């Protein structure tokens, strides 16, 4: 199991069962996908810092296309509701949330002769 924990100042650590030492979740990977907040992560409201955190967490748990497609919804439903300077969320919670999301819609097939 993986647990993501937020700390004052926008710091996020990743704790896993197989490693006793936590790893810092840095925003750089998510910034390369979409730059919402170059100043880092935040939570507890609907803004650019929470959007960056939502994207970063989803990039840890799913592929880039899915993370990019769903991170604003994840921000609104999960990240904006994290209250206080400290919080924790497990990979299981994120995976359950992902399973409840609708599949992407495919573009309409092009009409022949159009």
Domain total for the chain? Answer: 1
CB 94 within 8 A of CB 14: no
Checking if the pLDDT of 108 tops 70, the result is no
> Would residue 106 count as lying in a domain?
no
Give every CB contact of residue 19 below 8 A, 6+ residues apart in sequence. Answer: none
Label residue 106 by pLDDT band (50, 70, 90). confident
16 SS3 class: strand
pTM of the model: 0.91
> Would residue 39 count as lying in a domain?
yes
Partners of residue 89 on adjacent β-strands: 4
Please give the residue range of the domain that contains residue 47.
Answer: 2-99
């Amino acid at each position: 199991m993986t647990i993501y924990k937020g700390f004052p100042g926008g710091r996020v650590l990743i704790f896993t069962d197989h490693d006793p030492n936590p790893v810092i979740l840095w925003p750089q990977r998510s910034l390369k996908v979409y730059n919402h907040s170059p100043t880092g992560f935040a939570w507890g409201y609907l803004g650019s810092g929470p959007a960056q955190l939502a994207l970063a967490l989803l990039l840890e748990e799913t592929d880039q296309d899915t993370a990019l497609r769903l991170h604003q919804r994840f921000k609104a439903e999960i990240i904006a509701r994290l209250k206080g300077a400290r919080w924790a969320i497990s990979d299981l919670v994120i995976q359950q949330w992902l399973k409840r999301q609708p599949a992407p819609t495919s573009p309409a097939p092009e009409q022949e002769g159009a």
